[in-house]
């Protein structure tokens, strides 16, 4: 089992985008079970109108699959710690996704992830998302990549702020 501190040591994400609470079971490089508790205090519910209906409180699908992706990233890096080496994991693609339910505040979301294939810097996984005995989502293929932080940096208007290879330019002297 891995507690939240152990997750933070592996994943670069932080609140409010660290969307996993605990790993309950893991076979490194093979499969992993992780959980995330959904609460009414999540930032995604902050701007709901006072008269929001029950359906409006379904946990957003984008966050649900990102959470699954973070579980896949843990599994990937536990098997091959060298893969990260300062780079950031990104959820890059999802195929064959079936949504069969939703999670609501108070639910404990459980991710069942299996690592399918690893190439240099790319991982493929399959996953299921459960709430208790209800399977709420299946993902036939989840594609994750690692990228250097510089490739994700917010582009600043000043050329000297850019560190992307494509933008290497001599700094012009100004009069």
Q: Which two tokens stand for residue 113?
A: 């992830």
Binding segment toward another protein, per CB under 8 A, in 15-23, 59-67, 97-105, 116-124 = 116-124
Binding segment toward another protein, per CB under 8 A, in 36-44, 49-57, 111-119, 154-162 = 111-119
Are β-strands 134-147 and 88-99 bridged in parallel, bridged antiparallel, or unpaired?
A: antiparallel
* Binding flag, residue 88, another protein (CB under 8 A): no
Q: Please identify, using beta-carbon distances, which residue of 58 and 145 lies nearer to another protein.
A: 145
Please say if 4 is a catalytic residue. no
Q: Where are the beta strands (DSSP E) in 20-170?
A: 22-27, 31-37, 88-99, 108-119, 122-131, 134-147
Residue 94 C-beta: closest distance to another protein, Å: 12
Question: Half-sphere exposure of residue 104, counting CA atoms within 13 Å on the CB side?
Answer: 7
Q: Which of residues 121-160 bind another protein (CB under 8 A)?
A: 122, 124, 143, 145
Query: 48 with 57: CB under 8 angstroms?
Result: yes
> Catalytic residue among 47, 111, 167, 168, which?
47
Measured between alpha carbons, how far is 146 from 103 in angstroms, rounded to an integer?
28
Binding residues for another protein, per CB under 8 A?
A: 92-93, 116-117, 119-120, 122, 124, 143, 145
Q: Which residues are catalytic?
A: 47
């Amino acid at each position: 089992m891995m507690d939240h501190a152990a997750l933070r040591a592996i994943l670069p994400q932080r609140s409010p985008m660290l969307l996993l609470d605990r790993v309950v079971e893991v076979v490194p490089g093979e499969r992993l079970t992780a959980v995330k508790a959904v609460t009414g205090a999540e930032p995604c519910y902050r701007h709901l109108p006072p008269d929001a209906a029950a359906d409006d409180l379904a946990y957003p699908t984008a966050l649900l699959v990102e959470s699954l992706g973070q579980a896949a990233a843990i599994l990937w890096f536990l098997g091959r710690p060298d893969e990260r080496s300062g780079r950031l994991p990104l959820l890059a693609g999802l195929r064959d996704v079936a949504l069969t339910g939703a999670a609501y505040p108070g639910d404990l979301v459980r991710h069942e992830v299996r690592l399918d294939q690893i190439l240099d810097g790319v991982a493929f996984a399959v996953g299921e998302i459960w709430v208790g005995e209800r399977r709420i989502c299946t993902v036939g293929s989840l594609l994750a990549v690692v990228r250097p932080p510089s490739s994700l940096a917010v582009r600043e208007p000043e050329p000297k702020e850019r560190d992307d290879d494509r933008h290497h330019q001599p700094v012009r002297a100004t009069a």
